Amino acid sequence: DGGITQSPKYLFRKEGQNVTLSCEQNLNHDAMYWYRQDPGQGLRLIYYSQIVNDFQKGDIAEGYSVSREKKESFPLTVTSAQKNPTAFYLCASTRGPSLSTYEQYFGPGTRLTVT
Amino acid sequence: AQSVTQLDSQVPVFEEAPVELRCNYSSSVSVYLFWYVQYPNQGLQLLLKYLSGSTLVKGINGFEAEFNKSQTSFHLRKPSVHISDTAEYFCAVSDKTSYDKVIFGPGTSLSVIP
């Protein structure tokens, strides 16, 4: 079955450590996104990529970094510069280059806890 | 700038009763509208979407929504809810005229009471 996989489902880190969240899709989608979800705040866009080797900052990119070396993969690194990294992180993809036209397909999410 | 308001953060409803989850948006341009559902500790799944055409949109699991341009609303309805409908529901909007981002509302938690 085609879909988006995120690993691991739960991740625990000590404050001051960088951590990388994995996102892989086999849907042959062009665009991929990372969202952060906090209780009562909906989803906030961190980064998105419309094509390989290109990505744009979203609304809350500070303290995060991404890469898009392959169409199928869009890993997110949460750096020590992120002030409040504990959250639920969701990866998504869409068929076309435009967010505005197509529905988004979501992965199951990674819950990151930093202590 | 676009924004999405979901007026009710929590909606309790008895099983087999009807439910309406409200969504209002603000935008200066034409938009696409979406409703997503999220079950606990899972990703989001598309329920339905309005791109153009008929303002009454039918989705999965018996849900439907009506686009009202004059009231800038896109309320979600189901005539008879089931226990399995207990979840978080998100309304979302995106701009037709640019490669802009999808804006999600804060979500409504639907609890179906047996």
Structure tokens belonging to residue A42: 């909906």
Which amino acid, A16? G
Res A26 pLDDT > 70: yes
* Chain A contact for B50 (CB, 8 A cutoff): no
CB contact under 8 A, B32 and A101: yes
**pLDDT attached to residue B31:** 84
pLDDT tens per residue across all 114 residues of chain B = 778 999 999 999 999 999 999 999 998 778 889 999 999 888 999 999 998 888 999 999 999 999 999 999 999 999 999 999 999 999 999 876 654 478 899 999 999 999
What is the per-residue pLDDT for A1? 66
Nearest residue, CB atoms, B101 vs list A4, A6, A45: A45
Interface membership of B9 toward A (CB under 8 Å): yes
Q: What are the angstrom distances between the C-alpha of A38 and each of B43, B59, B92?
A: 13, 27, 16
Answer for the pair A3, A103: CB distance below 8 angstroms, yes or no: no
Please list every residue in chain B whose beta carbon sits closer than 8 Å to the beta carbon of residue A98: 99
User: Nearest by CB to A99, which of B43, B44, B99?
Assistant: B99
- Closest C-alpha to B91, from B53, B35, B20, B52: B35
Token pair belonging to A61? 């990119």
Band (pLDDT 50/70/90 cuts) for residue A99 is very low
Q: Which chain B residue has its CA at the smallest distance from A5's CA? A: B43
SS3 A103: coil
Q: How many CB atoms lie under 10 A from the CB of residue A32?
A: 30
- Interchain CB distance below 8 Å, A97 and B98: no
Q: With bands split at pLDDT 50, 70 and 90, how would you rate the model's confidence at A97?
A: low
Query: Residue B5: CB partners within 8 Å, gap ≥ 6?
Result: B23, B24, B25, B26, B105
Among A68, A95, A57, smallest CA distance to B101 is for: A57
According to the model, what pLDDT value does residue A40 have?
75
What residues are paired with A18 via a beta bridge? none
CB-CB under 8 Å, B107 with A100: no
What's chain A's average pLDDT? 90
Task: Dig out the tokens for B107 from the structure.
Answer: 């979500």
Rounded mean pLDDT, A48-74: 94
Cα Rg, chain A, nearest whole Å? 13
Residue B41 near chain A (CB below 8 Å) = yes
